[in-house]
Amino acid sequence: MEYYSRHISGLIEQLSRLPGIGAKSAQRLAFHIMNMPADQVGMLASSMTQAREKVRYCKNCWTLTDEELCPICSNAKRDHTQIMVVENTRDLAAYEKTGKYEGVYHVLHGAISPMLGIGPDEIRLKELMTRLQTEEVSEVIIATNSSLEGETTAMYISKLIKPTGIKVTRIASGVPVGGDLEYIDEVTLLRALEGRVEL
Amino acid sequence: MEYYSRHISGLIEQLSRLPGIGAKSAQRLAFHIMNMPADQVGMLASSMTQAREKVRYCKNCWTLTDEELCPICSNAKRDHTQIMVVENTRDLAAYEKTGKYEGVYHVLHGAISPMLGIGPDEIRLKELMTRLQTEEVSEVIIATNSSLEGETTAMYISKLIKPTGIKVTRIASGVPVGGDLEYIDEVTLLRALEGRVEL
């Protein structure tokens, strides 16, 4: 890219490393950014560094947040006896968008995958079990993806929780098999929640 | 997005303002950025502010660059008697990628568009005419897009240059290489027919 000058090439290269952004989009974005008012570019840049700097895990549910307790865990109006277990914060956001779930969450940050060598200790499962011992929990809703890894994780968790006597449910398979929660429409997500069955 | 904390929501919002990045992609990018090593986020952010800060127009051809003269204008090996006129720096980059054009460029930063109220004075046309008076130029190749605006601009420029006696050419329009006739619009097909060359 020697026909672009150093800073332009640098920006294009940085942008093209982001997921889902190819060479053409990176170029288009770079020129857009260079045409933006300087203060807006500054805001965009600092929102990145700030989010990266401040981000941490909620000490209770392990979602990504920037406070010790995330907005959901610190909300007294939520039903803290109902915990929905999800694979990541994006999946949590997907359920939050339905606006109908009133319980709280637990974010595993992954799923058990023998193929990728991810065992139960690599995800936030121990932390979930600790919560079940220390908090008053009446139901654990397992909302891992309906992929092989998600199902494996669901089975594993349900076996782990069963002996405690706490009710364990799984979101219904209204979610298409192999689907990623993040991309599923809200109606389907709600249908899956309503149709959850006890494991 | 009150289920995300302030900094995460802020980043998602900033990203979703970029062209071609919808709500879902912004979210995906934000989480990717928060999972990147902090120094890489810093590099990405500073490449934006730096490019924006340093960017300026080449004083000769008006392409976006970060020096007084762009790498092409300052390259003595290029043929400075041949000027290709393009609408923007991305179009310049497109021709540079062919690796076969050895002349220099002139970037108009737009095209004449009566519909959008963009007249000849809104693009870098006066600057082109100045170059033709001060530089030794043998040919001006008009490579504006083959849209209505691009064609209008091409006609306007050619009329302007003709009296100077400098050769003015227009890049050929026709069926793209590898293109399937079946999927090509009628105007292009007609243009290709009109511009047919003897074999």
Q: Dump pLDDT digits (tens) for B147-156.
A: 889 889 999 9
Give pLDDT, residue A175. 67
Contacts for B96-100: CB closer than 8 Å, 24+ residues apart: B96/A3, B96/B72
Query: Which residues of chain B neighbour A32 with C-beta distances below 8 Å?
Result: 18-19
Give pLDDT, residue B2. 64
Residues 67-106 of A with CB under 8 A from B: 67, 70-72, 88-90, 92-93, 96
pLDDT band at B1 (very low <50, low <70, confident <90, very high): low
Tell me which of A49-53, B13-17, B114-118, B169-173 is least confident.
B169-173
Evaluate if residue B35 carries a pLDDT over 80. Answer: yes
Give pLDDT, residue B57. 93
The answer to whether the CB of A50 falls within 8 A of the CB of B10 is yes
Q: What is the Cα–Cα distance from A32 to B197, expressed in whole angstroms?
A: 39
> Which chain A residue lies closest to B99 (C-alpha atoms)?
A3
Do residue A10 and residue B96 have CB atoms under 8 angstroms apart? no
**How big, in percent rounded to 5, are the helix, strand and coil portions of chain B?**
45, 15, 40
User: Does residue B53 sit at the A interface (CB-CB below 8 Å)?
Assistant: yes
When scoring B1, B2, B3, B27 by the number of chain A Cβ atoms within 10 A, the one with the most, hence best to mutate, is B3
What would the pLDDT profile of B86-131 be if each residue is shown by its tens digit?
999 888 888 888 888 899 999 999 999 988 999 999 999 999 999 9
* Nearest CA distance, B96 vs chain A (angstrom): 7
The answer to whether the CB of A128 falls within 8 A of the CB of A157 is yes
Evaluate if residue B138 carries a pLDDT over 80. Answer: yes
Give every residue of chain A whose pLDDT is below 50, as ranges: none
The answer to whether the CB of A167 falls within 8 A of the CB of A138 is yes
* Nearest CA distance, A99 vs chain B (angstrom): 10
Structure-derived torsion over alpha carbons of residues A184, A186, A190, A193, reported in degrees to the nearest 10? 40
Q: How far apart are the first and last CA of chain A?
A: 57
Tell me which of B5-9, B37-41, B59-63, B172-176 is least confident.
B172-176
Contacts of A156 (CB under 8 A, 6+ apart): A112, A120, A125
Structure-derived torsion over alpha carbons of residues B4, B7, B13, B14, reported in degrees to the nearest 10? -160
| Displacement of CA B14 from its chain's centroid (Å) | 25
